[in-house]
Amino acid sequence: MTRIESTFAQLAKEEKKAFVAYIMAGDPDVDTSLELMRGLPEAGVDVIELGLPFTDPMADGPTIQAAGQRALEGGMTLDRTLQMVRDFREGDDSTPIVLMGYYNPIYSRGVDRFLEQAKAAGIDGLIIVDLPPEEDDELCIPAQKAGLNFIRLATPTTDDKRLPRVLQNTSGFVYYVSITGITGSAAAEAGDVAPEVARIKAATDLPVIVGFGIRTRDSAQAIAGVADGCVVGSAIVGDLASGKPVEEVLGFVRALAEGAHAA
């Protein structure tokens, strides 16, 4: 079992929903992002999604785009991101880490070399948004063989014909994108999300976690209430970007986690 699978098994045993938090590696600088990352588990985060900065983040909205740019300007690289994970693992060997990003940096590194380094650093899963199921042989299958979960996105436009292909080699959990468009662009509505989550769950035994458009404790609770949990990214990244100290940002994360866990 990966850390991701173990975490969801334990949450299911406790009849508890998952709270997943996204942060950008190296935003606004390595020390601050590592301090934030280290504080997430105590704030109630069950799974950490760690963004890998990239120059052309096509699926990300302005908030996360800006975070990635700040990280890149500060010298963040794939190597430094992996080091950040290693540093985190010195004090936490149980919280799952999912690396979320784009294929170009991985391709440039070389798939086999990247997977070996990612596994050794302590990464548990990958979300690579620009690799469709038709490209599973490129990274998805090698990642699974290396012991990493490969988490796929399903969206409101993933119809019944497409869904089985999306789910075919997915592991860990399914990430349902609650809205069409980019991150941080609209608010998620539980009434719209619920039937889509039910449709996906009818086709897979994997947990279904909902992200995009969740910004408050109440919305985290509402969305987690119709799924197996929720993801918050832009709201956390934006809170950090506002200049608040890490402790205040962690207070906001704690409120979001309490909402999800209360569902």
Domain at 88, CATH number: 3.20.20.70
Respond yes or no on whether the N-terminal peptide bond of residue 28 is cis (omega within 30° of 0): yes
Structural domain span for residue 101: 3-151+214-261
Residue 42 lies in a domain: yes
Which of 60, 124, 196, 228 is an active site residue?
60
SS3 30: helix
Mean per-residue pLDDT for 63-92?
96
Count other Cβ atoms within 10 Å, centred on residue 125: 24
Q: What is the pLDDT of residue 221?
A: 97
The kind and range of the H/E element at 118 are helix 111-121
Q: Which residue type sits at 111? A: V
Which residues have C-beta within 8 Å of that of residue 140, sequence separation ≥ 6? 131, 133, 150, 169
Residue 218 is among the residues annotated as catalytic for this protein: no
pLDDT band at 63 (very low <50, low <70, confident <90, very high): very high
What burial class does residue 207 get, using C-beta atoms within 10 Å of its C-beta: 0-12 exposed, 13-18 middle, 19+ buried?
A: buried
Q: Distance between CA atoms of 19 and 242, rounded to whole angstroms? A: 23
pLDDT band at 190 (very low <50, low <70, confident <90, very high): confident
Structural domain count, the chain: 1
Residue 209 lies in a domain: no
Averaged confidence pLDDT in the chain: 94
Which of 27, 46, 49, 228 is an active site residue?
49
Assess contact for 52 and 83: CB atoms under 8 A.
no
Burial 172-200 (b: 16+ CB within 10 A, else e): bbbbbbbbeebbbeeebebeebbebbebb
Q: Which of 124-138, 181-195, 204-218 is least confident?
A: 181-195
Prediction pTM value = 0.95
Mean per-residue pLDDT for 97-102?
97
What DSSP state is assigned to residue 195? H
Residue 79 lies in a domain: yes
Residue 49 is among the residues annotated as catalytic for this protein: yes
What is the strand order of the sheet 97-101 is part of? 149-150, 125-128, 97-101, 47-51, 18-24, 229-232, 208-211, 174-177, 153-154
Q: What is the pLDDT of residue 180?
A: 59
Residue 84 lies in a domain: yes
Q: Strand locations in 64-187, DSSP E?
A: 97-101, 125-128, 149-150, 153-154, 174-177
Q: Distance between CA atoms of 183 and 77, rounded to whole angstroms? A: 22
Residue 13 lies in a domain: yes
Predicted confidence (pLDDT) per residue in 224-260, tens digit = 999 999 999 999 999 999 999 999 999 999 999 999 9
Residue 2 has pLDDT above 60, yes or no: yes
Between the alpha carbon of residue 202 and those of residues 11, 166, 167, the distances in Å are 20, 14, 12
Residue 76 lies in a domain: yes
Assess contact for 45 and 91: CB atoms under 8 A.
no
Q: How far apart are the first and last CA of the chain?
A: 26
Q: What is the pLDDT of residue 82?
A: 98
Predicted confidence (pLDDT) per residue in 129-188, tens digit = 999 999 999 999 999 999 999 999 999 999 999 999 999 999 999 999 987 554 545 567
Residue 163 lies in a domain: no
- The phi and psi torsions of 214 (rounded to 5 degrees) equal -110, 120
pLDDT band at 191 (very low <50, low <70, confident <90, very high): confident
Residue 58 lies in a domain: yes
